[in-house]
Amino acid sequence: MANLLYVDNSNVWIEGMHVSAASKGHAPDVWAAAKNKICDYDWKLDFGKLFEFAGGKGDVKRAALFGSRPPKNDSVWIAAERQGFEVIVYDRNVANHEKKIDTDIVATMISDSYELLKIGEDEVTLVSGDADYVPAIEKLKKRGIPVHVVFWGHASKELRDVATRFISLDPYLNHLSR
């Protein structure tokens, strides 16, 4: 069985900083950390460990990491590519907001489900916590494609419920750190 892995970089990284902040006592819980934008900026995500963890034990047919274009001196995307991810970046809009990421992840998952995925043999893993992905997951599951969601425990309840399987990253916070 092969896995097709899709990662919303900003989502997993920012929310990971909230989880880390709460775990270090900088906020009473992750909800307060997120609401008040309390982040542990020392926490860094290890892409190799994320790839191994979310990619599963089998063959990874595709691993795509989506995010905003970093500053020219930032090596985060180079590190991700070295760890096996195809990196897909978009420029931020004029208000410096991230755009196109969620819609491209959905479009790519659906496209890959027809072009790369073998129904009955392969599965999809999404690393994100937004309820925006629920309709895409429902459509993939309707076609008989298992869709696992790997994210922090405070992921959208609707997303956790629709997933074939939900795996919380919370117990692995330290393991996923670099």
Q: How far is CA 93 from CA 79, 84, 163, in A?
A: 25, 28, 31
Q: Which residues pair with 90 in a beta bridge?
A: 68
CB 163 within 8 A of CB 140: no
Q: Is the pLDDT of residue 77 over 90?
A: no
pLDDT digit string (tens) for 14-63?
999 999 999 999 999 999 999 999 999 999 988 888 888 888 767 888 98
pLDDT of residue 55: 83
CB 154 within 8 A of CB 178: no
CB 46 within 8 A of CB 84: no
Q: Is the pLDDT of residue 71 over 60?
A: no
DSSP 125-149: EEE---GGGHHHHHHHHHTT--EEE
Phi/psi of residue 80, each to 5°? -65, -40
pLDDT digit string (tens) for 153-171?
999 999 999 999 999 999 9
* pTM across the whole model: 0.91
C-alpha–C-alpha distance, residues 146 and 138, integer Å: 10
**How are beta strands 2-8 and 123-127 bridged, if at all?**
parallel
- Domain 2-12+45-172 belongs to what architecture? 3-Layer(aba) Sandwich (3.40)
- Domain layout of the chain by residue ranges: 2-12+45-172
